[in-house]
Structure 1
Amino acid sequence: MITFLQNLLYNFFISLGVILGGCVFGGIAATFSGHPPLKSMLDLCDKIKLWAVIVALGGTLPSFKILEVGVFNGDIRGLLKQVFYILSALSGAQMGYRIIYYLGGVNKL
Structure 2
Amino acid sequence: MSDFFSKAIIDFCIALGVVVGGSMLAGIGSVIALKSPVDTMRHIAEHLKIWAIVAAVGGTIDPLRIIETNFMLGNLPPVFKQLMLILVSFLGAHLGTELIQWICRARG
* TM-score category of the 2 structures, normalised to the smaller one: over 0.9
Which amino acid is 2:36 matched to? P
Taking the aligned partners of 1:16 and 1:94, their CA distance within structure 2 comes to: 8
Taking the aligned partners of 1:66 and 1:72, their CA distance within structure 2 comes to: 10
Which amino acid is 1:41 matched to? M
Taking the aligned partners of 2:79 and 2:86, their CA distance within structure 1 comes to: 11
Judge which range, 90-99 or 68-77, deviates more: 68-77
Alignment of 1:41-80 (within 5 A): 41-80=41-80
Segments of 4+ moved more than 3 angstroms: none
Gaps of at least 5 residues in structure 2 are none
Which amino acid is 1:26 matched to? A
Which amino acid is 2:81 matched to? K
Residue 103 (structure 2) aligns with: 103
Identity across aligned pairs (percent)? Answer: 29
Which amino acid is 1:65 matched to? R
Taking the aligned partners of 1:16 and 1:66, their CA distance within structure 2 comes to: 24
Taking the aligned partners of 1:60 and 1:75, their CA distance within structure 2 comes to: 21
Shift of 1:71: 1.6
Structure 1 residue matching 2:61: 3-state secondary structure:
helix
Taking the aligned partners of 1:71 and 1:3, their CA distance within structure 2 comes to: 22
2:12 is the alignment partner of 1:5: no
Which amino acid is 1:48 matched to? L
Structure 2 residue matching 1:60: 3-state secondary structure:
coil
Report how many aligned residue pairs link the two structures: 105
Gaps of at least 5 residues in structure 1 are none
TM-score, reference length from structure 1 = 0.92
